[in-house]
Structure formats: structure tokens, C-alpha cells
């Protein structure tokens, strides 16, 4: 069966497709979130050193990974929009930014609440924490820059440049625990395996998957409004049943 994927790179076709896809991501996200929480709180054992405080890991690590990953996807879409002048890619970049900022915030917040009992400080200016804070500022800068420019196509281009230049920060966050002496522990999941208990690993991966599915669902929902706004002078938008009613 031949599927014309380029068909869905047009906002017209993607609007409808995105609407149909949202529940297919949102429902599994909610179910996996509950499964992950159950395993994280009722199956995973108490940590020998950190006692129950370590359970913050099941939200902290997925949120941190996604805050970096979303940034790269956002910069990728922004770059596509800049190079090929594809409207939908730029709209996707715009739609991803608030959710990326949200996960960067959750990462910092849960990190502070974990740092206080374990390190004795809510915050330290070390490489890992500072570079993650810069990531939050990059997201906020991207959002502010785009919303300050009236013409959407110019806003796309300006935002894209910021997003692309800012992506240099992502490897800095990732490798900060190796490159500098920091208070933050090293990578929990290494390419060579992990020393975590199997139930802890399961809970963390399930929570990561749940959060990832949530990101897709909420981004699709947000991009639909962006599509409507930017295409509001077109025939197809005015013929949509949700607009006609």
C-alpha cells in the first residue's frame, strides 16, 4: 500500500490526521502513567541509601530526558522550516516549545526537591543544574521572541535561528556530569547498562514512555490551534464543521 506521506506535510491534511491521532497517544499515556506510578511506588523496593526519597527519580529522569529531547526535535523542525520553507514544520516547532519548557521546569523543580534532602541544598550553581536552567531560558526566549514578532513567517525564521544556535546547550547538559566535577550524580542509564534494580528501571522507562506519549498528544492538540490561526483566511478552514457550526 502506497501512502503519500507528503500529503500530511500540508497543514490541510495534517489538521484532520492530528485530531484523529490525539486519543491514540493520550489514552496510552494516561494508562502507562498509572502503571509506572504503581510500579514506582508499590513494586520498586526502598533504596538502601536514599530510602524513599529516591522515588522522585521516576518523574525527574523522564522529565529531564524529555526536556533535552524535545529541544532537539523542536530545533530540527525549526531548521526544516527554515531550509525548506515548510509551514507545518515551523508550526510544530512553535507547538513543542511550551511543553519543552514545562518539562525543563519539572526537571528543575523535582531536582530541587530531591537535592534538598540528599545534598542539603535546593540549588547549587553546578554545571548540570545551570545548563538545565539555561535550557529553560532558551525555551522561554524562543516563545517570547516568536510572540514578539507580528508576521508569523518572520517569527518562524527568527525563532529557528535561536533554536538552532541554542541546541549546542543540549550536549553540554548531557555531558556536564562527565566534563566537570559536579554535585549531580553521573548518568543513571549508560550505554553499557545500569546498576539499577529491575523494578526501578521498569518504572522509569514506563514513565518515560508515558511522558513521551503525552508530549506527542499535547503537541498535536496545540498545533491544531496554530494551524487554524495561521490558515484562518483559507477556504478549507472556513469549511470545517467546527468552524461552520
Partner 1 sequence: MSPAEFFAMNGYGFYVWGSYGVALLVIGIEIALVRHKRTITLRQLRMERDAGEEQ
Binding site for partner 1 (CB under 8 A): 37, 41, 46, 51-53, 55-56, 59-60, 63, 98-99, 102, 105-106, 109-110, 113-114, 116-117, 214, 218, 221-222, 224-225, 228-229, 232, 237-238, 242-243
Tell me how far, at minimum, the Cβ of 105 lies from partner 1, in Å.
7
Q: Is the C-alpha dihedral spanning 171, 218, 106, 50 positive or negative?
A: negative
CA dist., res. 213 & res. 25, Å (int): 5
Tell me how far, at minimum, the Cβ of 71 lies from partner 1, in Å.
17
Tell me how far, at minimum, the Cβ of 200 lies from partner 1, in Å.
14
Tell me how far, at minimum, the Cβ of 241 lies from partner 1, in Å.
11
CA distances from 168 to 75, 135, 155 (A): 10, 10, 21
Q: What single string gives the DSSP state of each residue in 187-203? A: -SSBTTB--S-HHHHHH
Contact criterion met (CB below 8 Å) for 93 and 230: no
Tell me whether residue 175 or residue 231 sits nearer to partner 1 (CB atom).
Answer: 231
Neighbours of 103 (CB within 10 A): 25
Tell me whether residue 139 or residue 167 sits nearer to partner 1 (CB atom).
Answer: 139
Tell me whether residue 69 or residue 180 sits nearer to partner 1 (CB atom).
Answer: 69
Neighbours of 39 (CB within 10 A): 20
Tell me how far, at minimum, the Cβ of 79 lies from partner 1, in Å.
25
Tell me whether residue 199 or residue 228 sits nearer to partner 1 (CB atom).
Answer: 228
Neighbours of 120 (CB within 10 A): 8
How many Å separate Cα 234 from the centre of its chain?
A: 31
Tell me whether residue 50 or residue 194 sits nearer to partner 1 (CB atom).
Answer: 50
Amino acid at each position: 500500500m502506497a501512502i503519500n506521506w507528503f500529503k500530511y506535510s500540508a497543514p490541510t491534511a495534517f489538521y484532520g490526521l492530528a485530531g484523529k491521532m490525539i486519543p491514540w497517544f493520550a489514552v496510552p499515556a494516561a494508562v502507562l502513567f498509572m502503571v509506572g506510578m504503581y510500579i514506582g511506588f508499590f513494586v520498586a523496593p526502598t533504596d538502601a541509601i536514599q530510602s524513599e526519597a529516591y522515588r522522585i527519580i521516576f518523574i525527574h529522569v523522564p522529565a529531564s530526558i524529555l526536556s533535552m529531547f524535545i529541544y532537539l526535535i523542536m530545533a530540527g523542525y525549526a531548521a526544516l522550516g527554515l531550509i525548506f520553507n515548510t509551514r507545518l514544520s515551523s508550526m510544530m516547532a512553535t507547538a513543542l516549545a511550551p511543553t519543552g519548557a514545562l518539562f525543563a521546569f519539572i526537571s528543575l523543580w523535582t531536582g530541587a526537591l530531591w537535592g534538598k534532602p540528599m545534598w542539603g541544598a535546593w540549588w547549587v550553581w553546578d554545571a548540570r543544574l545551570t545548563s538545565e536552567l539555561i535550557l529553560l531560558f532558551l525555551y522561554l526566549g524562543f516563545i517570547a521572541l516568536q510572540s514578539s514578532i507580528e508576521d508569523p513567517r518572520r517569527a518562524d525564521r527568527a525563532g529557528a535561528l535561536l533554536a538552532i544556535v541554542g541546541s549546542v546547550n543540549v550536549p553540554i547538559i548531557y555531558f556536564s556530569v562527565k566534563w566537570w566535577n559536579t554535585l549531580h550524580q553521573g548518568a543513571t542509564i549508560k550505554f553499557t547498562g545500569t546498576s539499577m534494580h529491575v523494578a526501578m528501571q521498569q518504572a522509569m522507562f514506563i514513565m518515560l514512555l508515558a511522558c513521551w506519549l503525552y508530549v506527542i498528544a499535547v503537541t498535536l492538540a496545540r498545533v491544531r490551534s496554530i494551524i487554524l490561526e495561521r490558515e484562518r483566511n483559507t477556504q478549507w478552514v472556513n469549511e470545517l464543521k467546527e468552524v461552520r457550526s
